[in-house]
A and B are shown apart, each in its own frame.
Chain A
Amino acid sequence: MTALAALLLAAGAAQAADATLYEDLGGADAVERIAHGAIDRSVADPRIGHTFENSNVDRVKRLLTEQICDLTGGPCEYSGQTMEASHKGLALDTADFNALVENLQDAMDEEGVGFRTQNRLLAILAPMHRDVVTE
């Protein structure tokens, strides 16, 4: 149990010493490439590509860039709808949600974002499952 406590403390200390997640992701250009990369992959993804049929893909990319910037401590303010409103009627299930997560991970891999930094972003996005997934 002492080892557990030490692990947790070490993890907490590493977190506190970090710059903002926004900076760790690579700043404005990197966040834009990550958001665009995630959406490009998802539109081309046979699992979930069809869910973008009635979307303005450029607008989705711009809003996702803005949202990630906002949530990670960057100088942006998300101007889109709530997650619940923007995904209403799409009938998304957990497998769809996770397909997007995997595409986001691939986009971050391509950007050279480390695994632990990726998980800090995913930790912020994960609770959106509650609002996005309706099936």
Chain B
Amino acid sequence: MKNYLVSVMTAVCAAASPAAADTVFDSGKLLATGGVSQIEGAGGAGLSTWSVITGYGSRNGVGANAHYSYLDLPDFTFETVGFAAGLFDRVELSYARQYFDTGETGVVLGLGEGFEFGQDVFGAKVRLFGDAVYDQDRWYPQVAAGIQYKDAEQEAVLAAVGADDDSGVDYYLSATKLYLRHSLLLSGTVRATQANQFGLLGFDEDYSAQFDGSAVMLLSRRWAVGADYRTKPDNLAFADEEDAAAAYLVFFPNKGVSLTLAGVDLGEVANQGGQAGVYFSLQVGF
């Protein structure tokens, strides 16, 4: 599966080359204004969903990208591969596959060495109103509504740890605004979710309202520095679940590539404390 997705990334790379202004693949947005790929595959930053539509397609164009992210934690590794398309700066469709490898910790948890949790995340987002970039004379942000359908693996283990279900749907409302006068971007999202640890540990039968947000300072046309914060529910009795935070540096050498380097703190995960580590993400597209 991983190899298959990497070849999809390569294909997206190749497709990006002939992108020109006189086709529907217009790469018409300004550099960096599509954000990067967040952990569930939507347009945003590392942990946070933004209301911007991913990719560089303008309101007359289509953009698409693929990404690979790797988070190295003390007791686990977390990888995500996915792709997404932005249609006419209105609709975003995304898919991400997450792998949460317990490595040697799998033995401690009684699951066996290298036991892997995983899930598919299918996302859709629609921009409702506002323009995060051009509406510099208006107070209101760009607002979008989205859903993420999550289908987790390891049903038996999820049931054993107390999850009610192995799939669930997140609903979110995002507001993002670029304060160009201050070279600052702010974004906030309210999310209704049933997910335990993003869904990797299954889903509760009840929804709770959670928040994620970003503050990003633009350093130049190609560099940005920022931070995310994301609250999470704490549904499972066997282990505490904590909020997540990240601080990152993003490099946009051109519209075809972005690189994110971050420090990410997920707090306690499956009774393993202090799960903070280095995160790397590569996005290619147009």
* Residues in chain A within 8 A of chain B (CB atoms): 3-4, 7-8, 11-12, 15, 47, 93-95, 98-99, 101-102, 105, 115-116, 119-120, 122-124, 126-127, 129-130, 135
Contacts and interface: CB of A to CB of B under 8 A. Distances in A.
Interface string B217-234: 111110000010000000
A94 B34 CA distance: 14
Given A94-B59, A95-B58, A127-B134, A4 B186 contact: yes
Contact of B29 (A94, A105, A130): A94
A98 B221 contact: no
Contacts of B184: 7-8, 11
A80 to B, nearest CB: 19
23 contacts: A3-B215, A4-B215, A11-B182, A11-B184, A12-B182, A47-B21, A93-B26, A94-B58, A95-B27, A95-B60, A95-B61, A98-B29, A99-B21, A115-B219, A116-B183, A119-B183, A120-B181, A122-B180, A123-B136, A124-B136, A126-B135, A127-B134, A135-B60
Nearest to B227: A3
A15 B219 contact: no
B188 to A, nearest CB: 10
A102 B136 contact: no
Given A126-B136, A129-B134, 15 more contacts: A4-B215, A11-B184, A15-B181, A94-B29, A98-B29, A98-B58, A99-B21, A105-B221, A115-B183, A115-B220, A123-B181, A126-B137, A127-B136, A127-B138, A135-B60
A77 B70 CA distance: 54
Contacts of A135: 60
Q: What 6 pairs across the A-B complex have the smallest Cβ distances?
A: A95-B28, A11-B182, A94-B58, A123-B180, A129-B134, A123-B181
B15 interface: no
B134 A126 contact: yes
A50 B152 CA distance: 53
